[in-house]
Chain A
Amino acid sequence: MPEPRPLDSIEAVESGLASQGYIASRQIATAVYLSEQIAKPILVEGPAGVGKTELAKAIAGWRGLKMIRLQCYEGLDEAKALYEWKYAKQLLYTQILKDKLGEVLGGAETLHAALGQLHDFGDVFFSKEFVEPRPLLQALEQPKGCVLLIDEIDKSDAEFESLLLEILSDFQVSIPELGTISAVVPPTVILTSNSERNLGDALKRRCLHLHIGFPEQKLEERIVESRVPGISQILRKQLVSFIHSIRTLDLKKQPSVSETIDWARVLVLLQASELGHEMVRDTLNVLLKYESDVEAALPHVTTFVANASRQNAFG
Chain B
Amino acid sequence: MRDNLHRFFRAARGAGVHVSPAESIDAMRGVSKVGFEERSILRDTLLLTLAKSEDEKKALGACFDLFFSQPEPSQNGDSKEDNAANENQAAENQQAPGGGGQSQNLGPLAQMLLSQDQTEIAAAIANAASAAGLTDIRYFTQRGLFSSRVLQQMGIQRLNDDLDALTATNPALAERLTNATDGLREMVRDRVAQALLLYGREEAENLRNEILRNAPLARIEPRQIEQMRALIRQMARRLRERFSKPRKRQRRGHLDVRRTLRRNAAWGSVPFLTAWKRKHRSKPKIVALCDVSGSVARVSDFFLLLIHSLHEVVSDVRSFAFSGHLIEVSDILEAKSAEEAMRDIMSKVGFGSSDYGSSFADFEQQWMESVTPQTTVIVLGDARSNNLDPRADILRRIAERSKRVVWLNPEGRLTWGFGDSEMPRYQTFCNVVRQCATPQQLERAVSDIVATYH
Q: Indicate if A37 sits at the interface (CB-CB under 8 A).
A: yes
B12-50 near A? 1/0 per residue, CB < 8 Å: 000000101011001001100110000011001101110
Q: Which residue of B lies closest to A206 (CB)?
A: B22
Contact B52 A210 (CB under 8 A): no
- In the complex, which residue of chain A has the Cβ closest to the Cβ of B267? A91
Which among A37, A159, A211 is the interface contact of B33 at CB below 8 angstroms? A37
**Does B221 sit within 8 A of A, measured CB to CB?**
no
Q: How far is B22's CA from A30's CA once the two chains are assembled, in angstroms?
A: 20
Q: Is A252's beta carbon under 8 Å from chain B?
A: no
Kindly list chain B residues whose C-beta atoms are within 8 Å of the C-beta of A30.
Answer: 34, 41, 44-45, 48
Contact partners of B45 in chain A: CB under 8 A = 30, 34
Known contacts A37-B33, A38-B33, A211-B57; is A204 also within 8 Å of B52 by CB? Answer: yes
Q: 8 Å CB contacts to A: which residues of B32-82?
A: 33-34, 40-41, 44-45, 47-49, 51-54, 57
Q: List 15 A-B contacts (CB under 8 A).
A: A10-B34, A26-B40, A26-B41, A27-B44, A30-B34, A31-B44, A33-B34, A34-B30, A34-B45, A37-B33, A87-B272, A88-B267, A91-B267, A201-B18, A208-B26
Query: Which A24-40 residues have a C-beta within 8 angstroms of B?
Result: 26-27, 30-31, 33-34, 37-38, 40
Shortest CB–CB separation between residue A59 and chain B, in angstroms?
A: 16
Instruction: Add 13 more A-B contacts to A40-B26, A91-B270 (CB < 8 A).
Output: A26-B41, A30-B41, A30-B48, A34-B49, A37-B29, A38-B29, A91-B267, A91-B268, A201-B52, A208-B26, A208-B48, A209-B51, A211-B57
Q: Which residues on the A side are within 8 Å of B20 (C-beta)?
A: 205
CA distance A30 to B47 in the complex (A): 11
List residues of chain B with CB within 8 A of the CB of A91. 267-268, 270
Name the residue of chain A whose CB is nearest to the CB of B51: A209
Segment 182-238 of A: residues with Cβ below 8 Å from B: 201, 204-205, 208-211
Structural contact, B48 and A87, CB atoms closer than 8 A: no
Closest 4 interchain pairs by CB? A204-B52, A37-B33, A30-B44, A38-B29
A151 beta carbon closer than 8 Å to chain B = no
Contact call B26/A38, Cβ cutoff below 8 A:
yes
Residues of A74-120 whose CB lies within 8 A of B = 85, 87-88, 91
- Bound: A52/B373 CA distance, A: 49
Contact indicator per residue, chain A 26-58, by CB within 8 Å of chain B (1) or not (0): 110011011001101000010000000000000
Contact status A209-B48, CB under 8 Å: yes
Q: Give chain B interface residues in 160-209, CB to chain A under 8 Å.
A: none
Bound-state Cα–Cα, A45 to B48, Å? 12
Residues of B within 8 A of A211 (CB): 54, 57
Q: Given that A26-B40, A30-B34, A37-B33 are known contacts, is A205 also in contact with B22, CB under 8 Å in the complex?
A: yes
Whether B248 is near chain A, meaning CB under 8 Å from some CB there, is yes
Q: In angstroms, how far is the closest chain B Cβ from the Cβ of A99?
A: 18
Q: How far is B45's CA from A37's CA once the two chains are assembled, in angstroms?
A: 12
When chains A and B are docked, how far (Å) is the Cα of A311 from the Cα of B23?
44
Contacts of B26 in A (CB 8 A): 38, 40, 208
A237 to chain B, nearest CB (A): 26
- Are the C-beta atoms of A208 and B23 separated by less than 8 Å? no
Hey, what's the 0/1 contact readout for B91-121 against A, CB within 8 Å counting as 1?
0000000000000000000000000000000
For B23, give its contact among A26, A31, A158, A205 (CB under 8 Å).
Answer: A205
* Bound Cα distance from A88 to B268, whole angstroms: 11
Whether A159 lies near B48 (C-beta < 8 A) is no
Q: Which A5-31 residues have C-beta < 8 A from chain B?
A: 10, 26-27, 30-31
Query: A33 CA to B44 CA in the complex, in Å?
Result: 12
Contacts of B57 in A (CB 8 A): 209, 211
A210 and B48 within 8 A (CB): yes
Q: Which residues of A contact B33 (CB under 8 A)?
A: 33-34, 37-38
**A45 near B44: Cβ-Cβ < 8 Å:** no
Cα–Cα distance between A45 and B57 once the two chains are bound (Å): 12
A286 to B86, CA, bound (A): 70
